Amino acid sequence: MLVKALSGLAVAFAMSLASAQAADVTVRMLHVNETGDPYWKKIAEDYNATHKGVKVIVDYMENEAYKAKLPTLLQSEDRPDIIYSWAGGVMRAQIEAGYIQDITAHKAEFDQVIYPAPLGAYEVDGKLYGVSVQLSEVLLIYNKALLAKAGVDPAQMKTWDGFLDVLKKTKGAGVTPLIMGGADKWPMHFFYSYLLMRLGGPDVLTTAETTEGGFKAQPFVDAGAKLKELAALEPFQDGWLGTKYLPSQGQFGDGKGMMALQLNGFIPGQQKNATDGKGIPNDQIGLAPFPELPGGKGKITDTLGGVQGFLLTKDAPPEALDFLKYFVSAEAQKASAEAGVYVPATKGTDAFIKNPLVAEIARAISNSTWHQNFLDQDLGPSVGRVVNDVSVAIAAGDMTPEDGAQQIQDAWDQR
């Protein structure tokens, strides 16, 4: 009888253990922020330590690989529970395809934590589908030592003609003016986007989207013409067409080029990917806005950038949402803010920012007269890819500005 009782207890214990194991939940988060990855993994570790039965796994995937693989992942039963998002048209397409959860019921909680404008970027038709984590700005990032070697004053770059003169003088001094990761294409679209913004002003995209043939309008053609004018100076490093984004960071960090038009995340990235693992120190980095174009409708205080954050995929467990609430808290975001990895979208974290460069970027974003989301995200996946392709093709001399505008229009019509 005792043996039977013990046997029964063993079976019961085994069943209880199996039930407990079955109750354990794994939440998978996938993102593209290389420099933020260790901080985000630490947030997951801290969360796991205080949430028995839940295991959050944070994985990093390189930007282009992520964009290429995500559509297939979303269709899979093995999709991540939390995915990185730039908001905009790509997010809208994912929502319309039924891959993303509606989290409107929790909006009031996120309203208390996240600044209104960044959180609003994740609303579609009055419903909330995601949360913002970081803010970014595309700006001219330059190596002060190489600028001094070329004998140029950064104040000269405030106008387009002055900017081109700086590139010419820099090249004449034997310094490569610009670092470009052309193989990934999206880095070149920053030039096209800013030129379009400076020429067309805040209504340029809305007008194009609501007007027949709007993407063939003069600002789109002129933006391509200005990009062609820039590329004719051959300001980029040798082999730029075959250079991917992360290696381009390393080239800048190794002092192989004076300047890059890039996201603020490029700054810690160049330090990590430099040959010595140190790159250009922060006190030797300068920042400048993209130049204004006289006669254009845009202002030098209009900024290009993004609001990056996360979405919950369909069938993600409730624990994924709970983790996301913790993830965007000031407590969780403090370390990233202190390290200057990015500008957090969480209220109160500006007090933690110690890096003068990050603080300068945060001020620029807060004082922006118009903050435009990346065109390759804002216009949706199919049109965005064409914008990137067109930008590189024009810069490489393989396409006319007029043909580029036509291709964007065709992609818009066929989306």
| Per-residue pLDDT at 7 | 44
Does residue 21 register a pLDDT over 80?
A: no
Q: Which CATH superfamily is domain 20-136+305-373 in?
A: Periplasmic binding protein-like II (3.40.190.10)
| Per-residue pLDDT at 4 | 39
Q: Distance of CA 74 to CAs 83, 88, 94, 147, 321, Å?
A: 9, 17, 9, 45, 18
Write down the residue that tokens 């730039």 correspond to: 86
- Nearest 5 degrees, angle CA 156-CA 226-CA 395? 110
Does residue 11 register a pLDDT over 50?
A: no
| Per-residue pLDDT at 366 | 84
Here the tokens at position 237 are 């490093």
| Burial label, 283 (beta-carbon count in 10 A; 0-12, 13-18, 19+) | exposed
User: pLDDT tens across 25-52, in order?
Assistant: 999 999 999 999 999 999 999 999 999 9
User: Are 390 and 215 in contact, with CB atoms under 8 Å apart?
Assistant: no
User: pLDDT tens across 350-403, in order?
Assistant: 899 999 999 999 989 988 999 999 999 999 999 999 999 999 999 999 999 999
Rounded CA separation 233/114 (Å): 43
18: confidence class by pLDDT, cuts 50, 70, 90:
very low
| Per-residue pLDDT at 9 | 36
Does residue 2 register a pLDDT over 60?
A: no
23: confidence class by pLDDT, cuts 50, 70, 90:
very low
User: pLDDT tens across 259-310, in order?
Assistant: 999 999 999 999 999 999 999 999 999 999 999 999 999 999 999 998 999 9
Rounded CA separation 390/204 (Å): 18
Does residue 413 register a pLDDT over 50?
A: yes
Phi-psi region of 107 (alpha: psi -120 to 50; beta: other; left: phi over 0): alpha
Does residue 19 register a pLDDT over 60?
A: no
**Comparing 20-136+305-373 with 137-304+374-414, is the CATH topology the same?**
yes
Buried b (16+ CB within 10 A) or exposed e, 136-153: bbbbbbbbeebbeebebe
Phi-psi region of 218 (alpha: psi -120 to 50; beta: other; left: phi over 0): alpha
Does residue 16 register a pLDDT over 50?
A: no
Mean pLDDT of 44-66: 96
Percent share of the chain, pLDDT over 70: 94
Q: Which of 117-121, 210-214, 225-229 shows the lowest per-residue confidence on average (mean pLDDT)?
A: 117-121
Rounded CA separation 200/290 (Å): 15
Does residue 5 register a pLDDT over 80?
A: no
Percent share of the chain, pLDDT over 90: 91
| Per-residue pLDDT at 330 | 96
Q: Which CATH superfamily is domain 137-304+374-414 in?
A: Periplasmic binding protein-like II (3.40.190.10)
DSSP assigned state of 276: T
Expressed in percent and rounded to 5, the helix, strand and coil fractions of the chain are 55, 15, 30
| Per-residue pLDDT at 238 | 97
Return mean pLDDT, the chain: 93
User: Are 248 and 167 in contact, with CB atoms under 8 Å apart?
Assistant: no
| Per-residue pLDDT at 117 | 86
User: Are 237 and 180 in contact, with CB atoms under 8 Å apart?
Assistant: yes
Domain boundaries, the chain: 20-136+305-373, 137-304+374-414
